[in-house]
A and B are shown apart, each in its own frame.
Chain A
C-alpha cells in the first residue's frame, strides 16, 4: 500500500447539550489508502458524524478537534471555507442516504450533475453536458438524453441513487464516502446500485469509505472494517477476519445478524457493558 490517502488521529467531535457537551466521536484514529473501508455501528454510534467531519460539514455548534486529520497532503484541520470548496466534490465526495431528499427537487437532474463538473473542471456548458451524459451512461442509465431532462420526483429510488453517484463522481474525486447508500432503497435494487458503485470505484482506483449498519453487506463489500460503538472505534479488522473478531460488541453484533443458513428461533440482542467506554 502506498502513502495513505486519509489519516485521522484522535478525532473528537462534540455537541453542546443542556448539561455540557455530548461527545459524538471520541478518540477515533484510522488511515485509509486506495481501498474500501467499512464503518459499521448502530444508529447514534457516531459514524455519520465522523463522515461529515471528514467533509467539514458539521453544524457550526459542533466542536471538532484532532491530532491529525489530513487528506492527501492537505491538513483538513486548517482548511478555510475556500479550501473546502476546492476539496469537496473534486478530491473527496459523498453519496448520501436517500435520493428522495438528497436531490434538489426543483432542478433537472442533468443540470445537477453538470453543476459539479462546471464547479471544478475548466469546462463550458456543452462539455459539461457531454460529460454528464457519459457519466449517466457509466451509472448504467439506459436513455441518458431523456433522463438528463427529468426532475427527481420522476425517478425511482434506484435511479435516484445512481444519479447521486453520477453527481458525486463526475469531477473524479479520489475518495468517496458512502453514507448508507442503499438503506433507503428497495432490496431488489440494493445490489445493483452497490455493483455500479463498486465498478466505478475499482475502475478509477478510488478510496471508498462505506458507512453502514449492515454488517453482512459491509463485510462482503469492503477490504477492511471499523466497528464503532458510542462514538469510539472499538475494533478494526480485515473484512475476511470479521468472524474472528475479538471485541465482545462485535461478536454480539455478529450474533444478532439473522442468517439463512442457521435456523434460529430467537435473535440474540446486544448486552452492553459500560466497560467498553473506558
Chain B
C-alpha cells in the first residue's frame, strides 16, 4: 500500500469477486458440516436403537399376538431388509416429514414433539435469561478483578455450579422451597386444579395464559417454573461466567485497552465501553451453545420436576424402546443445534465489523 503517495486516501482493499467466492465456500462448508452432523446424529441413534435387545415388533403387537400377525408387523416395519437400507428408508421418510407413530403415546411422533417442545422451550428460555443476565456481568467483573476477592467469590460460586449434581439440587430445592418454605409450587407445569383451563396456542403456558388475560394461571405457571428454571439458569450462569471471564482476561491485556486508559477512561469505563464489545463474538457462541444444550432437553431436571418436555419424552421413549419417538426426538435435537448455529453465526456477523459485509 503506497500510502505516502496517496497522502491519506482510504485504503480500499476489497475485491468483490473474491469476496463472493469466499462467502460461497464458507456457506458451502457450513451447510456440509451441518448435513454431516445431521446424518451422523440420526445414524448413531438409528444403529444404537437396533442394538437394543428389545424387539420392536413385540412393542407394537404385544406378546399375545399370533405368529402371523407378528410376521406381518415384522415385514411392515421393513425389518427383513439390511440395516443400512432400513436406515436409508428411515432417512427418506424423515425428509418428507414422516416421523412415524410413537408406541408409547400411539400418537404421531411429530405431534408429540410439537406438544413437548414448548415446555422445554419455556424452561430453557427463562434459564438462559438468568444465565446471561447474571453470568455475563459476573464474568466481566471476575475477569476485570482477576485474582482479587470478587474474582475468587465468583470463581467459587461457578465451581459449585460445575460440581453439584443437578438432580440432587432439584430435590433439595423442592424440599426447601416447596416442602419447608412453601415459596414455590411443586412438580409439573401447573397445579392439577388449573390444568386444561387455558387453550393451547403456543404451548408456552406463560404466553397462552397471558393472551387470555388469566393472570392467576400465569402466576401459578411461574411459581412452577421458577425453581427448575433457576437451577438450570445457575448451571448456565456458571458456564457463561467462566467463559466470559477468560475472554475478558484476554482482552484486558490488549494494547487498545491500555490506549483507552491513556485517553483518560476510568478502568471500569474502559472495561465496559472498550473491552466488553470485543468479547461479543465469542460470547454469542458460548450463549448459543448453552441455550442449545438447554433446548435439547434437560433430562435430569425434567425428570426430577416431572416437567413434560423433550428430555423427559426422549428418556421415557428410550426406557420403553419406543424407537420412532427416540429417533424423532434426536432429529429435533439436531434441528435445534443447526438453528442455534445459524442464528449465532448471523448474530456475530452483526457484532463484528470485520465480519460484516460492506
In the complex, is A directly touching B at CB under 8 Å?
A: yes
A79 at the interface (CB under 8 A from B): no
Residues of chain A with a CB closer than 8 A to B13's CB: 154
In the complex, the answer to whether A81 meets B265 with C-beta atoms within 8 Å is no
Given A188-B3, A192-B4, A105:B264 Cβ within 8 A? no
B11 at the interface (CB under 8 A from A): yes
- What is the bound-complex CA distance between A153 and B278, given in angstroms? 14
In the complex, the answer to whether B255 meets A188 with C-beta atoms within 8 Å is no
Residues of chain A with a CB closer than 8 A to B192's CB: none
Tell me the smallest distance from the CB of A123 to a CB of chain B, in Å: 14
B263 at the interface (CB under 8 A from A): yes
In the complex, the answer to whether B266 meets A96 with C-beta atoms within 8 Å is no
- What is the bound-complex CA distance between A164 and B278, given in angstroms? 19
B261 at the interface (CB under 8 A from A): yes
A120 at the interface (CB under 8 A from B): yes
Q: Mark B244-266, 1 if CB is under 8 A from A, else 0.
A: 00000000001110111111111
A267 at the interface (CB under 8 A from B): no
B9 at the interface (CB under 8 A from A): yes
A275 at the interface (CB under 8 A from B): no
- What is the bound-complex CA distance between A174 and B263, given in angstroms? 14
Interface size range of chain A in the complex: 35 or more
In the complex, the answer to whether B264 meets A116 with C-beta atoms within 8 Å is yes
Tell me the smallest distance from the CB of B278 to a CB of chain A, in Å: 6
Q: Mark A94-131, 1 if CB is under 8 A from B, else 0.
A: 10111001111111000000011001100000000000
A88 at the interface (CB under 8 A from B): yes
Among B12, B261, B353, contact of A106 (Cβ-Cβ < 8 Å) = B353
In the complex, the answer to whether A141 meets B8 with C-beta atoms within 8 Å is yes
In the complex, the answer to whether A107 meets B274 with C-beta atoms within 8 Å is yes
In the complex, the answer to whether A189 meets B256 with C-beta atoms within 8 Å is no
B7 at the interface (CB under 8 A from A): yes
Q: Which of B22-74 contact A (CB under 8 A)?
A: none
In the complex, the answer to whether B264 meets A189 with C-beta atoms within 8 Å is no
Among A85, A142, A171, A191, contact of B265 (Cβ-Cβ < 8 Å) = A85
Given A81-B266, A104-B256, A119-B263, A188:B11 Cβ within 8 A? no
Residues of chain B with a CB closer than 8 A to A116's CB: 263-264
Interface size range of chain B in the complex: 20 to 34
In the complex, the answer to whether A101 meets B353 with C-beta atoms within 8 Å is no
Nearest-CB residue, chain A, relative to B257: A104
Most buried by A among B12, B258, B267, B277: B258
Nearest-CB residue, chain A, relative to B280: A106
Tell me the smallest distance from the CB of B150 to a CB of chain A, in Å: 14
In the complex, the answer to whether B274 meets A104 with C-beta atoms within 8 Å is yes
In the complex, the answer to whether A189 meets B4 with C-beta atoms within 8 Å is yes
Most buried by A among B9, B255, B259, B265: B259
18 more A-B residue pairs beyond the given contacts A96-B258, A156-B3, with a C-beta to C-beta distance below 8 A: A55-B262, A57-B258, A85-B264, A89-B263, A102-B256, A105-B278, A107-B274, A119-B264, A143-B8, A143-B9, A151-B353, A154-B11, A154-B12, A159-B11, A162-B8, A171-B264, A186-B1, A189-B3
Between-chain CB contacts (< 8 Å), 16 pairs:
A88-B264, A89-B263, A102-B256, A105-B278, A106-B280, A106-B351, A106-B353, A119-B263, A142-B7, A154-B13, A155-B10, A157-B3, A159-B11, A168-B262, A188-B2, A188-B3
Interface set of B (CB-CB < 8 Å, partner A)? 1-4, 6-13, 254-256, 258-267, 274, 277-278, 280, 351-354
Interface set of A (CB-CB < 8 Å, partner B)? 55, 57, 81, 85-90, 93-94, 96-98, 101-107, 115-116, 119-120, 140-143, 146-147, 150-151, 153-159, 162, 164, 167-168, 171, 186, 188-189, 191-192
Q: Which 4 A-B pairs have the closest CB atoms?
A: A89-B264, A101-B255, A158-B3, A151-B353
